[in-house]
């Protein structure tokens, strides 16, 4: 239990936050600015302004990338968790994830039943055997370098390299890879040159070339390819010119032309095309003018106009349109101004406003909204990132690099903690090894090593120390047990208490 001093400190902090003009976020929490967001089937990926990647929502196949154990995989994570640094773009598929780092490297994780990770493996019965091997990836693995653009479909992945070459891998039963076959690929296969933009849907794909021509391929059962037919295409087919961007949904497609006009084709059972009907279209129909960005979900669409207004339409059974109702819309409805980026997932949606704040709405049964609940929302709610407060013997500690939770473990800056505990420190920069001594107990741990020692005896830990912005963060629980001190955790207020 918290000491009286600790409780008093928490109440003072909460009261200060409540009385500060202009603050509406919860006590003991802060909101970072976001630069990129991607809504998957039941999980979400967000990139903050410092380049850090955060994930939340369903984790059954390891699509959060936090290295979760089998037991942790079965649970959803309502709390955004920091996964990696230096990320510039993300794309969430149905159950897998892609991240593009600022150095051009592409990383993937999650479900790998069809080779959608792209590392040459897949989960399933291996060739020539009766043995099932699980090759789902619980943490990010590097796939390729020199990448400029990425897109994750339901079960396939696509990437454009900096030289304009388009590559695809994963499920290919409907020709969605565009390599002329229906053979799944466990490693990237080159599809075309001169690509500038790509979107992977459920079982079809679209690419815009540098000359603004639009090319489509894959399943066409509902006319989603927009070529005037319902014929499946195993290789790219050119259908339009003067196109700037596209988004492939589940059996439907949206296109923005260079003049800002928005066009749609394909499945329209829930009005997701936005033309006022529920009639499938095999030839693109015009929906609106002034469009700048768009994102399609499973059966709903979000579009950002050049004036910063956000418009939505289609299925709304979980409030994924964010208009305060659960009523489907067959024509676009405006819900927000001042929008900078948008992403539609299975049945949830996100918008990043021009001030960098992140807002979410829709289905939240797996915590995919990131609002620290599992409550679905029919109107936008601001996504907050909780800050961990550390209280040592009733005194709040200050850090220049904040503590964080990784793989379910709280990591704290070692120097502050060790000095506050009265431990002597010795840091070997060449080996990235720390040696600390307190009351005769000697602890030695190395960055990235899961086998630190206490008085020469190896102690295995599931989360090693990490380096962040010039600071070394260590797992607090290990430190506490090594030095025989008490550590408490208040999950409601995100407060760690240390009692010496």
As beta bridge partners, residue 157 has 152, 169
pTM, rounded to two decimals: 0.78
pLDDT reported for residue 30:
39
Distance of CA 19 to the CA centre of its chain: 33
Over 90: is that where the pLDDT of 110 sits?
A: yes
Cβ proximity of 21 and 4 under 8 Å: no
At residue 411 the predicted structure's pLDDT band, cuts being 50, 70 and 90, is confident
- Under the banding of pLDDT at 50, 70 and 90, the label for residue 31 is very low
Any idea which of 150-164, 266-280, 428-442, 465-479 has the lowest mean pLDDT?
A: 465-479
**What is the three-class DSSP state of 28?**
coil
With a CB cutoff of 8 Å and minimum separation 6, the contacts of 188 are 118, 143, 144, 159, 167, 168, 169
pLDDT at 340 over 70: yes
Coil, strand or helix: which one is 37? strand
CB 443, CB 436: distance < 8 Å: yes
C-alpha R_g of the chain = 24
Q: Cα–Cα distance between 498 and 392 in angstroms, integer? A: 5
Q: What does the alpha-carbon distance between residue 333 and residue 194 come to, in Å, rounded to a whole number?
A: 36
Q: How far is residue 88's CA from residue 431's CA, in Å, rounded to a whole number?
A: 30
Q: For 351-370, what is each residue's pLDDT tens digit?
A: 999 999 999 999 999 999 99
> 481 burial class (0-12, 13-18, 19+ CB within 10 angstroms)?
middle
Cα 45 from chain centroid?
A: 1
Q: What is the pLDDT of residue 8?
A: 35
For residue 227, give both structure tokens: 């070529």
Q: What is the pLDDT of residues 265-294, one digit of tens each?
A: 999 999 999 999 999 999 999 999 999 999
Q: Report whether 344 contacts 293 (CB < 8 A).
A: no
Which of 289, 292, 242, 246 is CA-nearest to residue 265? Answer: 246
Angle at 259 between CA 255 and CA 264, to 5 degrees: 20
């Amino acid at each position: 239990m918290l000491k009286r001093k600790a409780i008093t400190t928490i109440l003072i902090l909460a009261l200060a936050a409540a009385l500060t003009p202009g603050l509406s976020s919860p006590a003991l929490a802060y909101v970072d600015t976001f630069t990129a967001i991607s809504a998957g089937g039941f999980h979400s990926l967000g990139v903050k302004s410092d380049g850090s990647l955060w994930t939340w929502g369903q984790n059954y196949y390891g699509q959060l990338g936090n290295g979760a154990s089998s037991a942790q995989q079965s649970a959803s994570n309502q709390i955004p968790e920091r996964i990696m640094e230096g990320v510039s773009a993300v794309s969430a598929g149905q159950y897998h994830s892609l991240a593009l780092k600022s150095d051009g490297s592409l990383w993937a994780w999650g479900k790998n039943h069809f080779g959608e990770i792209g590392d040459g493996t897949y989960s399933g019965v291996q060739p020539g055997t009766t043995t099932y091997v699980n090759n789902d990836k619980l943490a990010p693995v590097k796939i390729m370098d020199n990448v400029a653009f990425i897109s994750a479909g339901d079960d396939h992945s696509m990437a454009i390299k900096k030289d304009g070459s388009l590559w695809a891998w994963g499920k290919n039963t409907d020709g969605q890879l565009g390599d002329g076959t229906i053979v799944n690929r466990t490693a990237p296969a080159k599809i075309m040159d001169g690509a500038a933009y790509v979107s992977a849907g459920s079982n079809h794909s679209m690419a815009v070339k540098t000359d603004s021509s639009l090319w489509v391929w894959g399943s066409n059962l509902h006319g989603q390819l927009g070529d005037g037919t319902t014929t499946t295409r195993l290789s790219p087919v050119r259908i339009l010119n003067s196109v700037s961007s596209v988004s492939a949904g589940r059996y439907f497609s949206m296109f923005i032309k260079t003049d800002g006009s928005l066009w749609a084709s394909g499945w329209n059972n829930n009005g997701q095309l936005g033309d006022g009907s529920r009639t499938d279209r095999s030839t693109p129909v015009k929906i609106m003018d002034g469009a700048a960005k768009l994102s399609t979900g499973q059966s709903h669409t979000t579009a950002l106009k050049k004036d910063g207004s956000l418009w939505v339409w289609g299925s709304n059974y979980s409030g994924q349109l964010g208009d305060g109702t659960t009523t489907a819309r067959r024509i676009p409805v405006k819900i927000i101004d001042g929008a900078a980026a948008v992403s539609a997932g299975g049945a949830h949606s996100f918008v990043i406003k021009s001030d960098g704040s992140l807002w979410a709405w829709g289905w939240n049964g797996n915590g995919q909204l990131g609002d620290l609940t599992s409550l679905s929302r029919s109107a936008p709610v601001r996504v907050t990132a909780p800050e961990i407060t550390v209280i040592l013997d009733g005194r709040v500690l200050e850090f220049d690099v904040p503590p964080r939770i990784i793989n379910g473990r709280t990591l704290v800056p070692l120097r502050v903690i060790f000095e506050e505990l009265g431990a002597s420190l010795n840091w070997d920069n060449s080996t990235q090894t720390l040696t600390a001594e307190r009351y005769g107990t000697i602890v030695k741990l190395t960055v990235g090593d899961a086998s630190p020692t206490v008085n020469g005896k190896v102690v295995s830990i599931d989360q090693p120390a990490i380096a962040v912005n010039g600071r070394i963060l260590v797992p607090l629980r290990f430190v506490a047990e090594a030095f025989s001190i008490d550590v408490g955790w208040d999950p409601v207020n995100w407060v760690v208490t240390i009692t010496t």
